[in-house]
Amino acid sequence: MLGVVASGAGGVEGLFDGLVRPALDAGWRVGVTLTPTAGRWFRDKGLVAEIEEATGLPLRVDSRLPGEPKPHPPVDTYVVAPATANTVAKLALGFGDNQALTQVSEAIGTDGVEVVVFPCVNAAHVRHPAWPGHIANLRSAGVHLVDGEDVWPLTEPRSGEWHPIPWRAVLDAVDGTRP
């Protein structure tokens, strides 16, 4: 079971074609959870139904009520792509203030659950003094980071430079977590 988690970064609207569909085609069962920001974008663009139809599971944004069953089966691998600077920082610190973070923060501390993260960040995010610590925290916890100049060259904010989300590299990292 693959838990796909996505946050409010440019290009997240391509999640279905870039990550969900190929993962299903590769034989994964897939459940999708979005941060509240990404959830708002997906509802606005009418992108929820195709995901729910293809995965056969509800797209999660909100937490369940205590008496409700868990809407998704247990996950073997989580992939957080794209992960905003905000979501990376909160994951690195163990925050769980939305459903997406609740799932992945717990997974980072759970033996046997793999976590892949693609930080969709710019050069300014990376210059924040807390950033190196966040990345070091995640690496030391065994999180597989999809990053580096060849995969995601950093651009300056408002530079007008734009790169498509490297879905192929994300899928390769997910594939690498298969037992």
User: Based on CB atoms, which residue is closest to ligand FMN, 128 or 178?
Assistant: 128
Give the number of residues in contact with ligand FMN, rule: CB under 6 A.
14
**14 is a contact residue toward ligand FMN (CB under 6 A):** no
* Phi, psi of 60, deg, nearest 5: -95, 135
From 43-51, 82-90, 127-135, 168-176, give the range in contact with ligand FMN by CB under 6 A.
82-90
Task: Tell which positions 122-141 bind ligand FMN, by CB under 6 A.
Answer: 125
Q: Which of residues 87-106 bind ligand FMN (CB under 6 A)?
A: 87
Q: Which is nearer to ligand FMN, 74 or 97 (CB)?
A: 97
Burial class (CB within 10 angstroms; exposed 0-12, middle 13-18, buried 19+) of 60: buried
Among 4, 19, 32, 38, binds ligand FMN (CB under 6 A): 38
Distance (Å, whole) CA 63 – CA 130: 28
Residues that bind ligand FMN (CB under 6 A): 7-10, 35, 37-38, 84-87, 120-121, 125
